[in-house]
Structure 1
């Protein structure tokens, strides 16, 4: 199945600082591509994989579970750890949950994490119906393109496959139990006006992680896909400042060796 235009994975070979970026549920690398390119231009090695079942058609996602999505970011992280001296992980929405699990599993091998509107729970009455509903109804209305900025759209599915949503619910529970194992420095940026993930998810994450170096930032001008919204530059700048603080001397604008 061909990948949707713009949804392709992205890789850039830069210097000794590596960043893994994790996209969200039913989304694609397109939602994080400007962030990835911003980091690449500044000499970082960047990996932005396409999660299995994503970036083609929603029916393909019905055949995947959280184990498949996590396995892909785990593979990409191991690749970066072999290649780079210092590695960070950034994530949007479900990508934030993937980021948190990598941080819990890999400990000090992950230098720091940046979370944008991270998901922690499937909300609403429908969540409790998922175990049964997924066998009766294949999909429901999509969640892509929750963006305040005029004329900007996210490359994602217009339907949510319910088998995958059920697996997402299980994944969030798994990650929530592991949050106390997260000890790395954290920057968490979230939108008060988010129509996909409520602010309570960020509050829950901040209350359960064991990290002591934590910065919380409100994205007042953006909705859920803030990396494509009015606050995108703020996210990019804050994440670079975070990397430069934790890996001083390793970020070099001339450190780039080849294009992505």
Structure 2
């Protein structure tokens, strides 16, 4: 049964001391990242994927959660791995990509793998969310942007406007930190994404301090690519990336 619960794996074999901290997206839950996390665990990596504060319950809970709590939960998962692993990577989708980049600016991660990372909005109304949150409590959901029929990520049915304002603050904070991100980065980008605009990629590529940037185009998936037609490609190429940068090929 699909669950919103966190995922942890101790790792095994030659990769047991190589960790990957995995982060889900805004209004979503570990459901969207579970198959990826399980794949990494099967390979032998130690994996830690938290359920971020305000997620996996109700959108009303999310509306009362500051962005710093999302980051705190992901950082705690990373630090738990760092305490028992020699090498730790970060991986995230959408907002989880932003949190991964922010963490990489503050900690010496071995590498970053992100899927459709979000740092900008496709809806211009987001810039007014700090004002609108006092008038409108929620707007229609942004979840389930998946090309593969019959697949759901189990995201909230409404998006709280107060949380959009928090997300915008996270984006602003993270963009300012991008020059401090120097770890190798692997970015998976769907050619059709109805949630995160191309400007997010432009911001990353223009500002990130990483010397090694690889961008992989996903031609048969929408935003939630980790549950879409190109999921296996993400799983396999990210595993190879982690192995290569941990010298565990």
Do these two structures clear the TM 0.5 threshold for a shared fold by scoring above it?
yes
TM-score normalized with structure 1 length = 0.92
Q: Which has the higher contact order (CA 8 A, sep 6+)?
A: 1
Q: Is the 8 A contact 1:23 1:31 kept in 2?
A: yes
Under a length normalisation based on structure 2, what TM-score does the superposition of the two structures give? 0.96
Q: Deviations over 1:106-129 (max 9, x none)?
A: 1xx200000100001233331132
Of the structure 1 ranges 188-197 and 240-249, higher mean CA displacement relative to structure 2 is found in 240-249
Q: Does 1:61 align with 2:62?
A: yes
SS in 1 for 2:176: helix
Deviations 1:5-40 (A, max 9, x none): 611111111110000001000000000000000000
Count of residue correspondences: 245
- Where 1:21 maps in the other structure, the secondary structure is strand
Which residue of 1 is the match for residue 35 of structure 2? 34
- Could you say which residue in structure 2 is the equivalent of 1:257? none
Match of 1:132 in 2: 131
Residue 214 of structure 1, CA deviation: 1.3
- What is the aligned partner in structure 2 of residue 207 from structure 1? 206
Contact in 2 for aligned 1:17/1:85 (Cα 8 Å): yes
Cα distance in structure 2, aligned partners of 1:152 and 1:79: 32
Q: Deviations over 1:235-260 (max 9, x none)?
A: 001101101111123x7xxxxxxxxx
1:45 and 1:193 map into 2 onto residues whose CA distance is 32
Contact 2:190 2:218 in 1 (8 A): yes
CA distance in 2, matches of 1:148, 1:127: 25
How far the C-alpha of 1:153 sits from its partner, in A, is: 0.8
Tell me how far apart the structure 2 counterparts of residues 128 and 180 of structure 1 sit (CA, whole Å): 23
